[in-house]
Every structure is written in structure tokens, then in C-alpha cells.
Amino acid sequence: MKNKLFVLGTLAIALLGVIAFTTKDADAYRGDYTQVGPNHTAQRETEMEKVFENKDYDAWVALMTQDGRRPGVVDRISKENFAKFVEAKELAEQGDTEGAEKIRLELGLGQGERKGDGNGQGRGRMARDGSSTL
């Protein structure tokens, strides 16, 4: 009996460890400018840097949607506000994350806000303090 409990306990701890180490990288980039996302590659980074350097909105949209996905950021960033989006990225790279976050909030990209239909996860927006804004 003690052996079974020991084995089950060890398996549970191992499973928790695997979960902790595999989700950290995928979730860490959200809102943290120092982390890369799960789709990061050196080639994509080089292409994105060129896009931002040239402030090329159309090339940015093409890169963001090249694999058939359409991340929500593409729906919020237009040709008209792309320069502000680039400015936020540049501020973040310079270490001014507060300035970058201010611009991101103006663009509707603030972390902690839930907009849209949530793909079946409820509707409405959540404010930063967790209260509903409906």
C-alpha cells in the first residue's frame, strides 16, 4: 500500500513539474516584452525587424497571417495606427515599458482586457481589476 502511494505521489509530482516547465515558455511572452512567443524563429524575427524598421503595415499583416491564423492584434491595428504600434515596440525595446503599455492601451491592446466573443469563453470585457465592464 505504501509503495502504491509513493509511486502515485511521485507520478503526480512529475506531472506537475512537466506542466510547470512546458507552460512557462508559452505563456511568459504575453505582456512581457522581454520574452519571445511560442511561434518565434530567428527568420521570423529578422523579417519582423525589417517590417518595423520600414513601418510596412502590409508586410506586417502578411507575416501575422501567413500560417492561416488571424490574431486579434491584426484586427485592432490599421494602416492609420500602425506607426503608434511601432512606437510602442520601440519604447519597449528601449526599456520604457510604461510608455509602451500606455500606447498599447490606447490601441486597445492592453493586457488583462478581454474583448470580443472569447470563442465560447463568455462575452464582454474584463477590466484590469477583474470586474466586468458590461
Computed from CA positions of residues 96, 98, 101, 105, in that sequence, does the dihedral angle turn out positive or negative? negative
Residue with the bigger pLDDT between 7 and 117: it is 7
Using CA atoms of 48, 53, 54, 60 in order, give the dihedral in degrees to the nearest 10: 20
pLDDT digit string, tens, across residues 16-71: 555 555 444 444 445 566 677 777 889 989 999 999 999 999 999 999 898 887 78
Q: Domain residue spans in the chain?
A: 1-30, 40-109
DSSP string, 17-75: HHHHHHHHHHHHTTT-TTS--TT--HHHHHHHHHHHHHT-HHHHHHHHHTTS---HHHH
CA distance 66 to 119: 21
pTM, two decimals, is: 0.58
